[in-house]
């Protein structure tokens, strides 16, 4: 889990569309991947994170805990924080380490 203090909030569900990144008022992309069968949510997330539009923070909404995604995120240097969600709904804030951070 991340120890970063950067706030991350889930945008209201009305601002989301399935399989498409929607940006909130702060410009943070949100991916709603709830109707996809595994491994499509993980593949979609990793493809998005590897692309030019990811930025340093992405919020994802899933139907289940993506346990096989976590090692892939860690390997790419991303951390994650769970967000409040209804039962049967998983929301995660994915964070890229600051580029100016020093070890």
Sorted by where each begins, the domain ranges of the chain are 21-95
Under the banding of pLDDT at 50, 70 and 90, the label for residue 71 is very high
Place of tokens 């998005």: 48
Task: Check if the beta carbon of residue 23 is closer than 8 Å to that of residue 48.
Answer: no
Q: Which pair of tokens denotes residue 23?
A: 């940006």
Task: Check if the beta carbon of residue 79 is closer than 8 Å to that of residue 73.
Answer: yes
77-99 pLDDT per residue, tens: 999 999 999 999 999 999 998 76
The model's pTM is 0.77
- The rounded mean pLDDT for the chain is 83
CA–CA distance, 64 with 34 (Å, rounded to integer):
8
Question: Which residue, among 13, 4, 6, has the nearest Cα to 84 in the 3D structure?
Answer: 13
Q: Which CATH code of 3.30.2090.10, 3.30.70.920, 3.30.70.890, 3.30.110.40 fits the domain covering 21-95?
A: 3.30.110.40
Cα-Cα end-to-end distance for the chain: 17
CA–CA distance, 46 with 3 (Å, rounded to integer):
22
Predicted pLDDT of residue 79: 97
CA–CA distance, 86 with 78 (Å, rounded to integer):
24
């Amino acid at each position: 889990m991340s120890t970063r203090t950067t706030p991350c909030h889930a945008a209201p569900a009305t601002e989301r569309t399935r399989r498409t990144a929607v940006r909130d008022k702060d410009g943070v992309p949100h991916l709603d991947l709830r109707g996809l069968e595994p491994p499509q949510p993980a593949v979609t997330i990793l493809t998005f994170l590897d692309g030019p539009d990811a930025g340093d923070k992405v919020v994802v909404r899933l139907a289940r805990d993506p346990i096989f995604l976590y090692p892939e995120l860690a390997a790419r240097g991303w951390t994650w924080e769970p967000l409040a969600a209804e039962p049967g709904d998983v929301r995660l804030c994915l964070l890229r380490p600051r580029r100016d951070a020093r070890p």
